[in-house]
Amino acid sequence: MMRKTNLSWLLAQPVNGIHLAPFEQSEISPDLFRHTRLMGLEGLVSVPAISR
């Protein structure tokens, strides 16, 4: 949460092509985050699939 807060502060002024997406934590998030850390990654970003 602190990183998200810092990022919102850094992006308070518009940066061309970059925007801060809303943050939502789901029931599965802690497990997914743990696995990302086990893979040596820093975090995880997911977006809803676009139906065509």
DSSP letter at 47 equals -
Residue 48 host element (H or E): none
What is the structure's pLDDT at 42? 75
User: How far does CA 7 lie from the centroid of its chain?
Assistant: 10
> CA 39, CA 32: separation in Å to the nearest integer?
11
Whole-model pTM? 0.40
User: Which tokens sit at 24?
Assistant: 């939502």
What is the structure's pLDDT at 38? 93
pLDDT in tens, 7-52: 888 888 878 887 777 776 666 677 887 888 899 987 667 777 776 6
Q: Would you say 11 and 18 are in contact if contact means Cβ atoms under 8 Å apart?
A: yes
